[in-house]
Amino acid sequence: MISAKTKACCLIGDPVEHSLSPIMFNSAFKEMGIDCAYLAFRVLRSELGTAIAGIRGLSFVGSNVTTPHKEETLKYLDRLDPSAGLSGSVNVIHNVDGELVGYSTDGYGAIKALEEGGVSIGGMRIMVLGYGGAARAVSFELARDGRAGGILIAGRDIVKASALANGISSFLRAEAITLKEGEKAGADLIINCTPVGMYPNTDESPLPPEALASATAVMDLIYSPRETAFLRSAKAKGCKTIGGIEMLIHQGAKTFEIWFRKKAPIGVMRRAIEGEGN
Ligand SMILES: NC(=O)c1ccc[n+]([C@@H]2O[C@H](COP(=O)([O-])OP(=O)(O)OC[C@H]3O[C@@H](n4cnc5c(N)ncnc54)[C@H](OP(=O)(O)O)[C@@H]3O)[C@@H](O)[C@H]2O)c1
C-alpha cells in the first residue's frame, strides 16, 4: 500500500508505455518488503534537465533512463561510475543524499545473460551490430571484461562504426566494418544491437542467414518479440541463442543492487515479466 513513507523510483524516456521495468521492479519491491513505488514517465528532450533535477528535488531513490536520453543525461549528473564514464551512456541514476551518480548496467546485463546462457566469451571473435547507445554499452563492457579475442563493429555508417571501434581499441582488438562486410566477416558470437527485427517489423533481420555460418552463438538485444527472425535463423543453423529479455532482467537486477545494496530477487523479476508483451 502506498503511504506517506513510500519512496519512489522511476523510468524516464520517450516512449515508455511499452516498458516492462515497472512490473519487474514493483514485483521485486513487494517480494523484498521494500516500501517503494516505480513509475514510468515520458520525458521530452527539452524537459530532460528539469526531470533529472526532480529526482533530487523529490528525493527519489533513483531512476532508469532509456532511449533517447541515455547519452544526454550525463551532463546533468554530479558523478559517473566508470561503467557510464567509459561508455558515455547512462541507464541508471542513483540519488545518494542529493548527489546524482550515473551508471550503465546494460553492458553488465548483456555479459551476464551470455554467461547464464552458457556462452563463454573467452577468446571469441565477437561481431557487434550497430554503434548506438546499447552497442556502446555492450562493447565497452566487453572491452573492460577483456576476455574476448576481438570485436568487429558492423554498421551501415562506417564513420560512426570506426568511432566506436577506435574508442575501444586501447582495451581490445577492434575493427569497424560495414553491415555488408559483416555478412562475410565470420564471427564466433554475433550480438544484434540495432532495432532491426523489433515489433512491428518482425520479419526483418540485420543479417541474412548465410552470415551466421561460423557463429556458435547469437544474441539479440530486442525483447519484443521474445524470439526475433534473426534468432530463429540462428537456431535453425544450430547456434546457441540468447534473447533480449535475459539482458533486461540482469541489467535490472544490477540496478536494484545499486539502489538498495541488496541482492535482487531475479526469479521473481523474471516471472513478473514472463507472459507480458509478446
Ligand atoms: N534487452 C535490453 O535490456 C535492451 C537494453 C537496451 C537496448 N535494447 C534494444 O537494443 C536496440 C538498440 O537500442 P539503442 O538504445 O542502442 O538504440 P540507438 O541508440 O537508437 O541505436 C540504434 C543503432 O541501430 C542502428 N540502426 C537503426 N536502424 C537500422 C537499420 N534499419 N539498419 C541498420 N542499422 C540500423 C543505428 O544506426 P544509424 O545511426 O545508422 O541509424 C544505431 O547504430 C533496441 O532494439 C533496444 O530495444 C535492449
Average pLDDT rounded to a whole number, residues 152-163: 98
pLDDT at 276 exceeding the cut of 80: no
Q: What is the pLDDT of residue 55?
A: 98
Which residues, other chains included, contact 217 with Cβ-Cβ below 8 Å and sequence gap of 6+?
114, 117, 119, 188, 189, 190, 239, 240, 241, 242
Q: Residue 120: how many CA atoms within 13 Å on its side-chain side?
A: 2
The three cell numbers locating residue 205:
533481420
Catalytically active residues are 70
| Number of other residues whose CB lies within 10 A of the CB of residue 172 | 20
Nearest-CA residue for ligand 1 atom 7 is 134
pLDDT at 128 exceeding the cut of 90: yes
Q: Give 274's pLDDT tier (boundaries 50, 70, 90).
A: confident
From the CA of 194, how far away is ligand 1's center (Å)?
A: 3
Pocket of ligand 1 (CB under 6 A): 67, 106, 109, 130-135, 155-157, 160, 193-196, 198, 221-223, 244, 247-248, 251
Report CA Rg, the chain: 18
The label of the residue with cell 575493427 reads: 175
What tens digit of pLDDT does each residue of 41-86 get? 999 999 999 999 999 999 999 999 999 999 999 999 999 999 999 8
pLDDT at 178 exceeding the cut of 80: yes
Q: What is the pLDDT of residue 41?
A: 98
Q: Give 197's pLDDT tier (boundaries 50, 70, 90).
A: very high
Domains of the chain, CATH where assigned: 7-104+246-273 (3.40.50.10860), 107-242 (3.40.50.720)
pTM above 0.85, yes or no: yes
Whole-angstrom distance between the N-terminal and C-terminal Cα of the chain?
A: 29
d(CA 122, CA 129): 19
Mean pLDDT of all residues in the chain? 96
Which residues, other chains included, contact 108 with Cβ-Cβ below 8 Å and sequence gap of 6+?
83, 141, 250, 251, 254
d(CA 62, CA 119): 32
Average pLDDT rounded to a whole number, residues 129-141: 94
pLDDT at 277 exceeding the cut of 80: no
**Single-letter residue type at 261:** R
